Amino acid sequence: MTSFIDWLQTSTGGLLLLAALSIAGLLAMIIKAKIEPFIALIVVSLALALVAGVPVEELVGTPRAAGESILETGFGGILGHIAPIIGLGTILGALLERSGGADVLTERLIRLFGERGAPLAMGVSGLILGIPVFFDIGVFILAPLVYVTARRGGKSLVLYAMPMLAGLSMTHAFLPPHPGPVAAAGVLEVSLGWIIVMGLACGIPAWFVAGILWGSWIGKRVQVEVPEDLVPEERNASAQPPGIGTIAFIIAVPMLLILGATFGDVLLTPGTTLHGVLIFLGTPAVALTIAVLIALYLLALRRGTSAKEVAEMTSNALKPIGMILLVVGAGAFFGAVLKATGVGQAIADSMSDLGLPVIVSAYIISSALRIAQGSATVAIVTTAGIVAPTVTAGGFSSAQVALIAIAIAAGSIILSHVNDGGFWIVSRYFNMSVKQTLLTWTVLETVLSLVGFGVAMVIWAFV
């Protein structure tokens, strides 16, 4: 028994077996036992660390060494990076929702593209609105507009819903301030500016192919009517919505500031005044704080919303993100354990021996985890933790690390099916049976994933 334990803890084969058992245990707890991913990740991480021989004092700390344990640094390191970003992004999205900005954006785009271009207008609406709001909230906001557009056009609801869903899904998977790309950036230690650049470069072609080309093709072949009772609960929208320019400005501010810091760091001399200003303003938490303050004034206070109403709205908006943060923190703890035990390095060495580029391995692992357990966030944080040792040791450029993060994000959305909450949201809001949802939404997500990864591979060859 002792020799077997030694083999597990020291040999590449033993460490790979521990990795396989830990992932199998994680999936069994989430899928079979229906345990919250947050709890499952903690249990599996603790068990893996103990079996692999990590000293208890290093794993959970001691009263004399508070804050120095793997448990605390694993959780705290990533949450210190992503919590303010996700929180501020959530508030920004809530302000845009409350103001009625989505209605303004979509109606203006429909007028611009005309009735024949209404599916494209819905796709662009999902693309733009998807930047500041979570996927499910975006569906909630835009679904009534899709219903109205489908009734006016007299065609299948699928024709108008698919482009919009592709826009929401792409931004949710590939762009900050959404939890997946922010978490991947934190674990892999790459700036959000590079994530934005590569996310847009890979995501926009993927959105066009999946949402516009595939959406138009399948929308003509799957007929779904808009029933009269398919109306979400009433949302609180302003009687006088803001102008389209205001909405575009508020959404653009944080992205431009973050990109300014990224390119300023490359092009300017460190220590100069302009370099310092750009780095400060482009720090994601600072950039989003500026955007939120602008939105608070332009979308709420200037338009008669009281400070009390604003406080209540922001408080309600922040409530749903608690579990997201816990899952991301627990996933980062799992990654820290993989590193501390040597399991992560063993996986990295094995991938290298197979001759697979790390970007391909990252996509395959993320896709497998996504298909098995359904959660994109779990797939991203787990995969990022697994490939992090390879990325750290590989000497990759920031652009390459960002592409690896995008490959992970692309894998995390492939083949959405019945174990994914998004599958049922789409089915419910767009009046589709399980078969119809598989034919439309599941294929759309898979196309979005494959094209996004394919573009990332093309860019990888040149950076």
Find the farthest-apart pair of alpha carbons in the chain and give their distance in angstroms, rounded. Answer: 74
Q: Which domain holds residue 383?
A: 73-460
**In terms of Cα–Cα distance, which of 256, 239, 283, 211 is closest to 100?**
239
Flag whether 9 is in a domain. no
Q: Are 258 and 196 in contact (CB under 8 A)?
A: yes
Flag whether 236 is in a domain. yes
Flag whether 50 is in a domain. no
Which helix (H) or strand (E) is 387 found in, with range? helix 376-394
Flag whether 204 is in a domain. yes
Residue 235 confidence (pLDDT): 46
Instruction: DSSP for 312-361, please give it.
Output: HHHHHHHTTHHHHHHHHHHHHHHHHHHHHHTHHHHHHHHHHHHT--HHHH
| pTM of the full structure | 0.83
Residues in Cβ contact with 325 at an 8 Å cutoff, skipping those fewer than 6 apart: 79, 82, 83, 86, 179
Surface-to-core class of residue 249, CB atoms within 10 Å of its CB (0-12 exposed, 13-18 middle, 19+ buried): middle
Residue 236 confidence (pLDDT): 47
Flag whether 92 is in a domain. yes
Surface-to-core class of residue 63, CB atoms within 10 Å of its CB (0-12 exposed, 13-18 middle, 19+ buried): exposed
What is d(CA 138, CA 213) in angstroms, rounded to the nearest whole number? 21
Flag whether 244 is in a domain. yes
Q: Please state the domain count of the chain.
A: 1
Residue 229 confidence (pLDDT): 56
Flag whether 107 is in a domain. yes
Averages of pLDDT over each 10 residues, the chain, 463 residues:
73 82 85 85 90 86 66 79 84 82 80 88 92 85 85 89 96 92 92 96 97 95 77 48 84 90 85 92 92 91 84 83 82 82 75 82 91 85 88 91 97 89 87 91 97 98 92
Flag whether 233 is in a domain. yes
Residue 17 confidence (pLDDT): 86
